[in-house]
Structure 1
Amino acid sequence: MTEAPLLQLDGVSKSFGAVAALVRADLALEAGSIHALVGENGAGKSTLVKIIGGLYQRDGGEFTLEGESVDFHSTRDAKEAGIAVIYQEPTLFPDFTVAENIFVGRQPYTKLGLLDRAKMRRETRELTQRLGVPIDPDREARGLSIADQQVVEIAKSISVGAKVIIMDEPTAALSGVEVDRLMGIARQLRDEGKGLIFISHRFDEVFSLCDTITVMRDGTYIATNTTTETTEDAIIRQMVGRSVENLFPKQETTVGEAVLEVTDLTSVGVFENVSFTVRSGEIVCFAGLVGAGRSEIARAVFGVDRYDSGSVRIGGKAVPPKNPAAAMRLGMGFVPEDRRKQGLAMDAGVQSNITLAIRDSLSKFGFITSSLEEPSARTWASRLQVKTHALDTEASMLSGGNQQKVVLGKWLATQPSILIVDEPTRGIDVGTKAEVHRLLSELAGTGVAVLMISSELPEVLGMADRVLVVREGRITAEIAREQATPENVMYAATHAPADNSTETAA
């Protein structure tokens, strides 16, 4: 008799009112394996994870754990049954120590009824050392990196005997070294007999880490593949129902006059003597390693962060420092790296978010109504194909890809002459990536100047007319599209020019 999977879902469905989030979801997780769950944003992955984790209850279908039918009515039920979910953004108590976070809700006590902090410290050290990442038990969670917070979450899960560990986009905010460390921990947990579900849009991670891959599309199970017997192209076709052959639909454009001119911009200790231009109809990409200073330069150009010297001009007009409102009036838009914290009002609707940057122009006598906002919001939601059943749907309820479209819509509604986009496709699926790339290319085709920051080298090479490589707060190379290769971009990102000036390949 074949042993039952560690965890299995068959034909699971879930609706929210008239919206069917899951139509038919199937998943079979074996003990001692790492199982990837992939699909476009809105495919139903998050809903399925929330059912497994006890946050939602299924409407139909079967759900078994170690061969026994289960129904979790709360996250507590799921945790007690051995289910742990590690989210992209850890949910530790920032003012608690590492040990207190690991033992929250189940603190040990001495025979005298006193909190046994010595035992908490001892077991915390053992747990983090077992994971290969020793962390001081008395350190406050507030000061930990995202990577170390995830380690604490994993330590907490194995301390309560978790059998199933779900990692939901765990590498989105990590550096390369941190990703390698996390993947080593995942393999260790697999070898200990635990079952892991790994959700990621990064195919290199999926194929190097996972044993099997389950694909979902539009709330429905599509296929399960053994990693060694499938390909990235085959997975993409299953995810989107079509072949995404043109992931970087770069249009030929006519490059015009300089729109954005940055001269000798310096923020002491952050970046130094940064000078560049972006012309009408041109996409310029900042490339470089994490921490090189790319986002900091962009934030200073838009006026979010201060700088000590230098100048920014739009269309020949000076932009006063630390004044985003002035930058906006002169035609600049800025899509930030962290869309949830910096780009959206998460508890506001799609309509309010799209019109947020143009509300003054829509108001009458200082008042604004839904009827005044609705035409513009509907136009951009339609053009960007935002998937939502209503314009008053809160941004927090949208998938990551649709949140990104709403942020883009907010800034496109201002009709910018220069648009800065920081990591425009981070954490979104391959189909939506192609849509965002097409949109940026179309914008350049209409004469908009685009400055894009990306940590994905294929995206940089696929979209840029020019690549500006940033290293340790300085632009170390300017590379024309025709000469931009992975090798020379990475060389410039890791080596300072011999004369400490900008190298040019044209």
Structure 2
Amino acid sequence: MSQQSTLIELQGITKRYGLVEALRDVDLEVKTRQIVAIVGDNGAGKSTLVHIIAGLEQPDSGRIAVRGKELRIDGIAKAAELGIASAFQQPEFCENLDVCANIFLGKELSNGLSMRDDEQMHAKAREILSALSVPVRASQSIASLSGGQRQTVAIARTLLNEPDVVVLDEPTASLSVTQSAEVLDYIVSLRSMGRSVIMVCHDLPSVFAIADRIVVMRHGSICAVHATDETTYEQVLAEMAGVVQNNASIRERRRVLRARTPIERRVR
């Protein structure tokens, strides 16, 4: 793999809602061609963090740099300009429209005569769906799709402006095991296409299956960051719960993990 450069860097990010401190002095770095999973218990600050990266929320203090340039992400449109696209829980669709129309919802293409260019939009939708290997037709009714297929359409929608980073908040929530596996495959394909993914996910098996790095949050702070193949379920769960593990035990688990083959590391 080619050398990875830093795409997004957060330093000292703090966010308050009245007396509640949702984020406290958060530092995070996201590199190119990397899947970063953010995990933590309810109320840990995961969604607030990705909302700030996506431009939906503004921090009270701290700095954000994209490709080394410090700036303010003051909205989804600004995030899109910077190459950051997002899809969140329960994506909204117009049930009476087809897949193509839902992909372009609010971003319809014009033929220059103040008229929608349906032919160009369908061609682009087919191109995106093909790149992701999604078995869904651009002309198919959105109402006919399964939960997993609808989530993949939401992911496809993020690719319209060819972003460098895709932010996903619980992309497998409320999906069956089979549907979750399909969505995870599409997330991996984003990395294969040269994109980075920042993913909030509550399902640790899914996290360990596809993530390159795991960011553990607790009470609004990042308490640990791990390379996925250098940590364990037990360690991540303990950090999420605030349990201090025995250092000798942790070192032994890491030694065993490093001795495994890449396939064995993914299969617990």
Please report the TM-score for the alignment, with normalisation by the length of structure 2. 0.84
How far is the alpha carbon of 1:128 from its aligned partner?
0.9
Q: Percent identity at matched positions? A: 35
TM-superposition CA deviations, 1:363-393 (whole Å, max 9, x none): xxxxxxxxxxxxxxxxxxxxxxxxxxxxxxx
Matches within 5 A, 1:23-62: 23-62=24-63
1: distance between equivalents of 2:62 and 2:4? 21
Residue number in structure 1 paired with 2:100 = 99
| Matching residue's letter, 1:69 | E
| Matching residue's letter, 1:242 | V
Matches within 5 A, 1:159-198: 159-198=160-199
How far is the alpha carbon of 1:34 from its aligned partner?
0.6
- For structure 2, which runs of at least 5 residues remain unmatched after alignment? 246-268
Matches within 5 A, 1:136-147: 136-147=137-148
2:4 and 2:33 in contact (8 A); partners too: no
- Larger RCO of the pair (alpha carbons < 8 Å, separation 6+): 2
SS at match of 2:159: helix
How far is the alpha carbon of 1:144 from its aligned partner?
2.3
SS at match of 2:119: helix
2: distance between equivalents of 1:180 and 1:48? 25
TM-superposition CA deviations, 1:331-373 (whole Å, max 9, x none): xxxxxxxxxxxxxxxxxxxxxxxxxxxxxxxxxxxxxxxxxxx
SS at match of 2:29: strand
1: distance between equivalents of 2:189 and 2:133? 10
Residue number in structure 2 paired with 1:214 = 215
Larger radius of gyration: 1
Residue number in structure 1 paired with 2:75 = 74
How far is the alpha carbon of 1:43 from its aligned partner?
0.6
How far is the alpha carbon of 1:230 from its aligned partner?
0.8
2:147 and 2:179 in contact (8 A); partners too: no
TM-superposition CA deviations, 1:90-113 (whole Å, max 9, x none): 122333321112222332222444
Compute the RMSD of aligned alpha carbons.
1.9
2: distance between equivalents of 1:111 and 1:168? 36
Runs of 4+ in structure 1 displaced over 6 angstroms? none
2: distance between equivalents of 1:157 and 1:125? 14
How far is the alpha carbon of 1:5 from its aligned partner?
1.2
2: distance between equivalents of 1:115 and 1:219? 45
| Matching residue's letter, 1:164 | V
1:88 and 1:170 in contact (8 A); partners too: yes
SS at match of 1:216: strand
TM-superposition CA deviations, 1:286-335 (whole Å, max 9, x none): xxxxxxxxxxxxxxxxxxxxxxxxxxxxxxxxxxxxxxxxxxxxxxxxxx
Please report the TM-score for the alignment, with normalisation by the length of structure 1. 0.46
Residue number in structure 2 paired with 1:89 = 90
Provide the aligned length of Structure 1 versus Structure 2. 243
Matches within 5 A, 1:294-373: none
| Matching residue's letter, 1:42 | G
| Matching residue's letter, 1:162 | P
How far is the alpha carbon of 1:89 from its aligned partner?
1.2
2: distance between equivalents of 1:186 and 1:47? 21
Residue number in structure 2 paired with 1:11 = 12
How far is the alpha carbon of 1:78 from its aligned partner?
1.5
